[in-house]
A and B are shown apart, each in its own frame.
Chain A
Amino acid sequence: MTATLGYPQLRNVGTASKRLTAGLPPITVILSFAVVLLVILWSLVPWLFTSYSPVTGDTASKLAAPSAQHWFGTDYLGRDQFARVVYGTASSVTSALVAVLIGLVIGSLIGLASGFRGGWLDSVLGRFVDVLLAIPGFLLAVVIVSSLGFQTINAAIATGVSAVAVFARLMRAEVMRVRSATYVEASYLEGGNRLHALLGHILPNAYRSVLVLAVLQFGTSILIIASLAFLGYGDPPPASDWGLLVASGKTYVTAPWLVYAPALVIVGTVLSVNRISRWLRKAK
């Protein structure tokens, strides 16, 4: 007992007080939040950020290099690439959000049922999760989207389904961990029922790890959906999902900005989301 009270816990006290005095998160985390905020604003009110239309262009100034008028240059129809990126944000980011929600809700329900009921239900759901994991995630998404039809919303559903397994695994592990904790047993002794244990103890304890995974999965989903759009499995043009912009830009070798601009936006967004996820995990 004295041994466990010694060094590690003192160290925890140290980091806790350091965190209190430091106050603000690291500068990279603040920057990441700023990037994510900007991306959210792009998807909600794109017209505030650009005066150009994403669908009609001025063919006289087609394939123009980036300039003060056209930050990301123009495409083969003279459309402003920055406007296309900004207007494409809504579907690129919303669909990633939909994907995370599907994975989160279905996966958590499976994990909860599995860990909470145990027995045969756990075995059945466990095998189901094994099967979902056995098919490589991206292939599973490709098959589902080809079965549902080539639309961005279907790409989102496909990405969500392929994320179900990881959420189910995590939630089950969390339930198992908390379920056998002494204070949960104590709450049973005090007359609390299963629902009370679930709402009062298990979910509040699990929520932090699940949140970290959800944020991480948000970044992954942006990548997967961009890849599906790149292959042409999302909404067809004139939609301007980020992955689709890269795909249509790659035809114009003389205008590399058509590829680099949306690519940088994808990388910046995902990098920021991942940084936030790592910060949340550490701050735990």
Chain B
Amino acid sequence: MTSDYKRFALTRAGQAVVVVLLAYVLTFLVISVLPGDAITNTLRDPQHGLSEEDIQRIVAFYGLDQPVIVQLLLSLGRFLTGELGFSLQSNLPVSRIVGDALPSTLTLATSALVIAVVFAVVIAYGAQYLPGKWAAIVRSIPSFFLSVPNFVIGLVLIEFFAFRLHSFTTTDPNSPVATLFAAITLAIPVSAPLAEVLIASLDHESRQEYALVARSRGLTEATLFAKHLVKPSALPSVAMVALIVGELLGGSVITETIFGRDGIGTVVQKAVTGEDQPVLQAVVSLSAVVFVAVNLVADLASPLLDPRVKLREKVAA
């Protein structure tokens, strides 16, 4: 078992590294395939006020006078040594831009994750234990959540809570209350698939014989839910963690824009409008790193959480 697990872990880790590197290459190709030479266009923009020397230095740094494949290798080499290059808009190191924006997005994403889990558990509990008609309504909530665009949720929350009820102001987007509403905006689409998985899993578990035995022992439904049903239903949700992280990262672009927060999403948006390729490349490949790492942890953890998960199948899949 242990040597099996070790081999499984090493194989998965190796695959993860390969996927990250290929994601970097894919992003690079997509960004640099663009028609026109965006980097030099931006650099030669007179508003930029760069001297000819500066331009030459930057051109040499990115290898812009050389073929795409050389640029790719240079760029990949820098990425591997942790060097992310410089922003074309502000000339600041990309690592600093990302580092400055990261805490805000982390706060937002973590709060959103917690809220999403709470929403999902409440919905799943309601779907299981509310009387017939109400349960049916609760069961349709996830598909409703999935049909509302992120930006609409955000605008509605701002309209009601900021403009009508004055719970927070959009001029101070980092206040706790504003952060809470931004997190709710981001959490709603994330909670939907989570709730669907939990509902399906709870339906399955509560029909099992052990649940029947527990009921016959006189456990109330609430105790049964808390003590017996939550844990086995949590396992399939762990498998969704990577998906959720992707949703949180993608959704932060919209949410941060609406609420005026300065985070990774705003960095992406500015990089897109300013054709700031190094920043875009860095943020996208770093999100791939996060996504792959979370996926890897979930994969490595699942055989430990549930001994029934077969290692070989996981390696093959």
Contact = CB atoms under 8 A, between A and B. Distances in A.
Interface of A: 127-128, 130-132, 134-140, 142-144, 146-149, 219, 223, 226-227, 230-233, 243, 246-247, 250, 253, 256, 259, 263, 266-267, 270-271, 274-275, 278
A256 to B, nearest CB: 6
A231 B27 contact: no
Interface in B122-173: 143-144, 146-152, 155-156, 159, 163
A256 B19 CA distance: 45
Contact of A227 (B144, B150, B273): B150
B23 A256 contact: no
B280 A134 contact: no
Contacts of A227: 149-151, 254
B149 A263 contact: yes
A130 B14 CA distance: 13
Given A131-B26, A147-B33, A271 B143 contact: yes
A131 B151 contact: no
Given A127-B18, A267-B148, 18 more contacts: A127-B22, A136-B246, A136-B291, A139-B253, A143-B27, A143-B284, A219-B147, A227-B150, A230-B151, A230-B254, A231-B257, A247-B151, A253-B163, A259-B159, A263-B149, A263-B156, A266-B152, A274-B147
B260 interface: no
A269 B280 CA distance: 33
Contacts, number: 121
B287 interface: yes
Chain B interface SS verdict (over half) = helix
B19 A127 contact: yes
11 contacts: A127-B19, A136-B250, A143-B31, A149-B35, A223-B149, A226-B149, A227-B150, A230-B149, A263-B149, A271-B147, A278-B143
A98 B227 CA distance: 48
B268 A246 contact: no
B151 A134 contact: no
A144 B30 contact: yes
B199 interface: no
Given A138-B250, A139-B268, A231-B269, A256 B159 contact: yes
Given A250-B155, A267-B148, A146 B280 contact: yes
Interface in B202-226: none
Task: Name, among A134, A140, A230, A253, the residue most crowded by chain B CB atoms within 10 Å (CB to CB).
Answer: A134
A274 B152 contact: no
A274 B143 contact: yes
A243 B149 contact: yes
Contacts of B275: 146
A136 to B, nearest CB: 4
B262 interface: no
Contact of B23 (A131, A144, A148): A131
Nearest to B289: A134
A275 B143 contact: yes
Contacts of B273: 232
Given A127-B22, A266-B152, A143 B288 contact: no
A263 B152 contact: yes
B88 interface: no
B84 interface: no
B296 to A, nearest CB: 11
A237 B163 CA distance: 27
Contacts of B149: 223, 226-227, 230, 243, 263, 266-267, 270
Interface string B274-300: 010000100110011001100100000
Contacts of B251: 138
Interface string B169-212: 00000000000000000000000000000000000000000000
B148 to A, nearest CB: 5
A148 B287 CA distance: 21
A226 to B, nearest CB: 5
A90 to B, nearest CB: 19
A134 B20 contact: yes
